[in-house]
């Protein structure tokens, strides 16, 4: 995108997502905006999320759930999802370069990007009384 058009609404949504420790859905973003005193229409939020994603300012995560989640971190990283509660955490370790080379060799692709999603059970679900 050549020139950014950060309207007041887009800026508020971007600031909210970049300050999140989690990976909120659009509905959670709407609720948090309301809690912060904003009254944006659903269409405005969804259109702003699409704009910010297309501009590369946020990432849309499709992790096998019905609702997309949004991430303020745009550098390459991966995620792990709890199969019990749906919690999503960051994985900052990169896949081994050998693995990327093997995938490229077996598929005859030039690999430019990878998206890896790990699944498991988080500590809280594993130890509910801890």
β-strand pairing of 59-61 with 78-82: unpaired
20 annotated binding-site participant: no
Q: What are phi and psi of 93, to 5 degrees?
A: -80, 135
Both structure tokens of 40? 């944006």
Other Cβ atoms closer than 10 A to 106: 8
Asked if 50 contacts 59 with a C-beta cutoff of 8 angstroms, the reply is: no
Asked if 17 contacts 70 with a C-beta cutoff of 8 angstroms, the reply is: yes
125 annotated binding-site participant: yes
Asked if 125 contacts 82 with a C-beta cutoff of 8 angstroms, the reply is: yes
Residue 120's SS3 state is strand
Residue numbering of the annotated binding site for Zn(2+)? 82, 85, 122, 125
Residue numbering of the annotated binding site? 82, 85, 122, 125
């Amino acid at each position: 995108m050549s020139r950014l058009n950060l309207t007041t609404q887009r800026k508020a949504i971007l600031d909210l997502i970049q300050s999140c420790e989690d990976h909120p859905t659009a509905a959670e973003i709407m609720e948090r905006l309301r809690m912060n005193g904003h009254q944006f229409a659903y269409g405005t939020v969804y259109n702003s999320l699409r704009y910010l994603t297309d501009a590369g300012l946020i990432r849309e995560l499709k992790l096998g759930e019905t609702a997309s989640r949004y991430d303020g971190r745009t550098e390459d990283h991966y995620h792990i999802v709890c199969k019990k509660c749906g919690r999503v955490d960051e994985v900052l370790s990169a896949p081994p370069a050998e693995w990327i080379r093997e995938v490229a060799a077996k598929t005859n692709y030039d690999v430019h990007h990878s998206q890896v999603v790990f699944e498991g059970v988080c500590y809280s679900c594993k130890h509910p009384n801890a």
